[in-house]
C-alpha cells in the first residue's frame, strides 16, 4: 500500500497558518505568493494521492486477498484517514477563519484560501473513497448473501437412528428443549 497512509506530505504550512492569523494577512504580497504556491503544490499532491490510492485499489482487486483481508485493509485506510484528519483539521480551521468577506484587494487571497480548503476536504475524501471501494470489493468477494445453496442428495442407505443420536450429541440445548 502507498506510503501516503502514514505520511501526510507537506500539505499544511505552519508558517502560513500563523500568517493567516495575523491582522495584516490580506495586505501581504509575500503571503499571497505563498498562498498561490501552496495551492498549486496541494493540488499536485492531491492528484498524486488519488493516483496512488487508485493503484492501491487495483493492486488489491488483482491480489489474492479474501473478503476479510480487504476489510482489514479498509480498516488500515480508516486509521490513516483519522491521522490525516488530525493533521489537516488545524489547517482547515485556520482557512475557514479567514474565509470571510474582505476588501477588494483580498479577493485573490480569498480564492486561494477557498481552493486550499477544498483541496484539504478532497484529500480526506480520497481516503473515504478508497475505503468504500475496498469494502464494496470485499462484499463482492463474499458472494451473494441472498443466493440459495442447494444440498445434494445422499447416495445409499442412511441410518436415521445414528444420525439422530449424532445430532443430539452435538446440540445438547436442542436435546433439552425437545425433552420438555
CA atoms within 13 A on the CB side of 75: 6
Ranked by mean pLDDT, the top range of 25-29, 64-68, 98-102, 171-175 is 64-68
Residue 172 banded pLDDT, cuts 50, 70, 90: confident
Residue 177 has pLDDT above 80, yes or no: no
pLDDT at residue 33, rounded to an integer: 82
Residue-wise pLDDT for 86-124, tens only, equals 888 887 887 777 766 555 556 777 787 788 889 889 999
| Local confidence band at 125 (pLDDT 50, 70, 90 cut-offs) | very high
Residue 2's pLDDT band, with cuts at 50, 70 and 90, is: very low
User: What percent of the chain stands above pLDDT 90?
Assistant: 22
Question: Tell me, what's the pLDDT at 29?
Answer: 73
Q: Would you say 91 and 120 are in contact if contact means Cβ atoms under 8 Å apart?
A: yes
Structural domain boundaries of the chain? Answer: 3-142
How many Å apart are CA 36 and CA 102, to the nearest integer? Answer: 18
Residues 80, 127: contact at Cβ < 8 Å? yes
Among 50-54, 76-80, 140-144, the minimum mean pLDDT is found in: 140-144
Amino acid at each position: 500500500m502507498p506510503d501516503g497512509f502514514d505520511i501526510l506530505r507537506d500539505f499544511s504550512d505552519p508558517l502560513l497558518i500563523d500568517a493567516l492569523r495575523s491582522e495584516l494577512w490580506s495586505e501581504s504580497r509575500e503571503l499571497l505568493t505563498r498562498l498561490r504556491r501552496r495551492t498549486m503544490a496541494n493540488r499536485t499532491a492531491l492528484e498524486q494521492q488519488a493516483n496512488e490510492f487508485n493503484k492501491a485499489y487495483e493492486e488489491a482487486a488483482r491480489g489474492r486477498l479474501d473478503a476479510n483481508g480487504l476489510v482489514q485493509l479498509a480498516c488500515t485506510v480508516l486509521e490513516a484517514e483519522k491521522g490525516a484528519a488530525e493533521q489537516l483539521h488545524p489547517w482547515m480551521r485556520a482557512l475557514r477563519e479567514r474565509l470571510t468577506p474582505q476588501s477588494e484587494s483580498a479577493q485573490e487571497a480569498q480564492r486561494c484560501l477557498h481552493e486550499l480548503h477544498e483541496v484539504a476536504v478532497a484529500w480526506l475524501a480520497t481516503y473515504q473513497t478508497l475505503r468504500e471501494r475496498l469494502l464494496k470489493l470485499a462484499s463482492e468477494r463474499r458472494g451473494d448473501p441472498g443466493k440459495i445453496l442447494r444440498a445434494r442428495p445422499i447416495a445409499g442407505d442412511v441410518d436415521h437412528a445414528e444420525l439422530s443420536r449424532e445430532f443430539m450429541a452435538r446440540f445438547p440445548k436442542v436435546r433439552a428443549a425437545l425433552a420438555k
